[in-house]
């Protein structure tokens, strides 16, 4: 089998990887802001819930999180009479999103806290509520500072999708392993896969830089 014949199955796997990356990154971004802002909340319950989520998912292995959601969660559900079985795609998106969200939450928290105290004091002097200070003062200044770190997390998330192949999700890594086992051609298969991951990471980096540039212009327009 020539190397060009590997491209069909690998392209199918790459498309699954792209979808997995997209949806888990969207979920992770939402969780990043929810937990990052929650960690700074004046409400103790919200604050501790956010801290617990961040520490658990930063302090445990992504692979174990993936296995727990796919293998352990259904067993717990059966024990209490609830169907908690997740399709491989759902388990992959959820595990990746929860993991990247925990790391992103610290990026959000750090960027918000990096806003100068004078800005908060000015908002307080104008009788802004906590909510108004957050949305009108802190976040417009903090979001552009988050973008480089979010770009790195997005690329890391793309690479982490390869772990989803271990729950039989037909992504790029899974298709590569199938081809390698069948044709015993590890060098060719994994060289192509290496280049495909690199290409996807390069495209993702460019897209994130464009987003970062647009956010920078948005901040300039607000001044």
How confident is the model over 66-124, as pLDDT tens digits?
A: 999 999 999 999 888 888 899 999 999 999 999 999 999 999 999 998 888 888 888 88
Q: Decide if 106 contacts 37 (C-beta within 8 A).
A: no
Is 201 a residue whose pLDDT tops 90?
A: yes
- Give the CATH number of the domain where residue 88 resides: 1.10.3720.10
For tokens 């997005």, name the residue. 154
Q: Using one digit for the tens of pLDDT, what is the confidence trace for 208-222?
A: 999 888 876 655 555
Instruction: Calculate the CA dihedral of residues 179, 184, 190, 191 and round it to 10 degrees.
Output: -120
Instruction: Calculate the CA dihedral of residues 38, 32, 95, 44 and round it to 10 degrees.
Output: -10
Average pLDDT, the chain: 90
Q: Using one digit for the tens of pLDDT, what is the confidence trace for 25-81?
A: 999 999 999 999 999 998 999 999 999 999 999 999 999 999 999 999 999 998 888
What local confidence, expressed as pLDDT, does residue 44 receive? Answer: 92
Domain limits at 35?
3-222
Please state the domain count of the chain: 1
Confidence tier at 14 by pLDDT (50, 70, 90): very high
What predicted TM-score, i.e. pTM, was given to this entire model?
A: 0.89
What local confidence, expressed as pLDDT, does residue 205 receive? Answer: 93
Q: What is the token pair recorded at 5?
A: 């014949």
């Amino acid at each position: 089998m020539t190397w060009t014949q590997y491209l069909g199955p690998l392209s199918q796997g790459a498309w699954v990887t792209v979808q997995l990356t997209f949806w888990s990154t969207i979920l992770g971004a939402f969780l990043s802001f929810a937990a990052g802002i929650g960690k700074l909340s004046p409400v103790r319950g919200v604050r501790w819930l956010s801290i617990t989520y961040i520490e658990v998912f930063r302090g445990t292995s992504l692979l174990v999180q993936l296995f727990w959601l796919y293998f352990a969660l259904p067993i717990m559900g059966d024990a209490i009479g609830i169907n908690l079985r997740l399709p491989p795609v759902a388990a992959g998106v959820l595990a990746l999103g929860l993991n990247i969200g925990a790391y992103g939450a610290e990026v959000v928290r750090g960027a918000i806290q990096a806003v100068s105290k004078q800005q908060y004091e000015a908002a307080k002097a104008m009788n802004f509520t906590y909510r108004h200070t957050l949305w009108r003062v802190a976040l417009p200044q903090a979001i552009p500072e988050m973008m480089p770190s979010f770009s790195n997390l997005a690329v890391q998330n793309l690479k982490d999708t390869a772990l989803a192949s271990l729950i039989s999700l037909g992504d790029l890594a899974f298709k590569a392993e199938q081809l390698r086992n069948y044709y015993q051609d590890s060098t060719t298969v994994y060289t192509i896969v290496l280049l495909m991951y690199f290409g996807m990471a390069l495209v993702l980096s460019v897209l994130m830089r464009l987003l970062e540039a647009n956010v920078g212009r948005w901040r300039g327009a607000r001044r």
